[in-house]
Structure 1
Amino acid sequence: MIKSKQDYLYYLKADRKALNIPDKPNWIKEIILPNYIWVFQKRLRKLEYLKNCRNDLIGKITYVILKVRFRKLGIRLGFSIPENIFGPGLSIAHYGTIVVNSKTKVGKNCRIHVCTNIGASGGNPKAPVIGDNVYIAPGVKIYGDIEIGNNIAIAPNSSVNKTFLEPNVLIAGSPAKIIKKIDISKLIPNSTE
């Protein structure tokens, strides 16, 4: 969670690296053909910074204005992602439906694809806790009071409703089960840092 200006800058740098955005962007290209996922993630991190660190009047007003712009862009892209969920190094791979429960916690270097739903289940308000270096393929559903460990890949269209803590594995199926050992660095290049 972002707790200072330094954390905010670190999260932005990690997200930029995860999305393969150059440190010095081409401003003309950014104006003509902006990367809306990067715009969304920058707004998300700015909201987190304002919510957690800026309790002054200007910070609160800026938060409200930015929240409106953030929600509009989220609706346009199909993202329903609240603040303070994802650690640094978030990579949203494509536009499309991504719904995340506000009680979910996700570690660093998460790569998430379209048609993903992460949330609570059966009236239980508790949501999943997901570790570091987790690859979430398209169509994955993760729900319930469960935990996903570090260095795990979840195959497309899987339904995960139980805890998996063994690292360096691929889980797949409905309901999900461990399929094989994998090297997560092939799916998330910045996972070794």
Structure 2
Amino acid sequence: MKEYLFDDVWKFQRRLRWCEYVVNTNSNWLLILFSRLMLRRISRALGFTIPINTFGPGLSIAHYGTIVVNGAARIGANCRIHVCVNIGTAAGSSAEAPVIGDNCYIGPGAKIYGPIQIGSNIAIAANAVVNKNFIEDNITIGGIPAKIISKKGSKGYLRIAKFE
């Protein structure tokens, strides 16, 4: 328990979820402002740009470092994300961001952009550039541009009771 109380990434995740709760329950505007300021403060310290309501439950951030996520992106439950990951829109479009399914593993340095859909139980390899749809579940994708490199999926990368 002690390691969680002093871990900055864990503190960020708690503040992110608290801010989502405060905003989604239409709380007092002063509380909303305070929660957003607290989230922005720790976000800047850790290098995260993760808007509220983009990730489902079970978000796991491996390390502190640059992570940029567009506010229009939607990522499902139980996502493990590493540093230097960008999830955003393609050049010239601001509203069309990726939709990623549940139980995904996103390796360090991955770039995911454009109006694409990615299935569930997918592992995205380190430094992959994903700019097209991968609807199929239980696959591993990687490369520049990304292609299917394995049928293994994210099973070995995530700790979820469903897999065990």
TM-score by length of structure 1 reads 0.80
1:61-118 superposed Cα distances (whole Å, 9 cap, x missing partner) = 1121121121111011000000000000000000100000000000000000000000
Q: For structure 1, list consecutive stretches of 5 or more residues without a partner in the other structure.
A: 1-24
1:120 match: 89
Of 95, 108, 128, 1:138 maps to 108
RMSD: 1.5
Pairing 1:7-26 to 2, within 5 Å after superposition: 25-26=1-2
Letter in 1 for 2:7: N
Q: Which has the higher helix share?
A: 1
Separation of aligned partners in 1, 2:162 and 2:128: 25
Q: Are the counterparts in 1 of residues 60 and 80 from structure 2 also a CA contact under 8 Å?
A: yes
How many pairs were matched up? 162
Separation of aligned partners in 1, 2:72 and 2:161: 24
Letter in 2 for 1:37: V
Of 26, 51, 54, 1:54 maps to 26
Q: From the superposition, tell whether residues 67 and 95 of structure 1 become closer, same or farther in structure 2 (CA, over 3 Å).
A: same
State the 1:182 CA deviation: 0.5
Question: Which contiguous aligned blocks of 4+ residues in structure 1 show a shift greater than 3 angstroms?
Answer: none
Of 39, 57, 72, 1:88 maps to 57
Pairing 1:64-103 to 2, within 5 Å after superposition: 64-103=33-72
TM-score by length of structure 2 reads 0.94
Q: Are the counterparts in 2 of residues 104 and 118 from structure 1 also a CA contact under 8 Å?
A: yes
Separation of aligned partners in 2, 1:109 and 1:85: 12
Q: For structure 2, list consecutive stretches of 5 or more residues without a partner in the other structure.
A: none
1:176 match: 146
Letter in 2 for 1:69: M
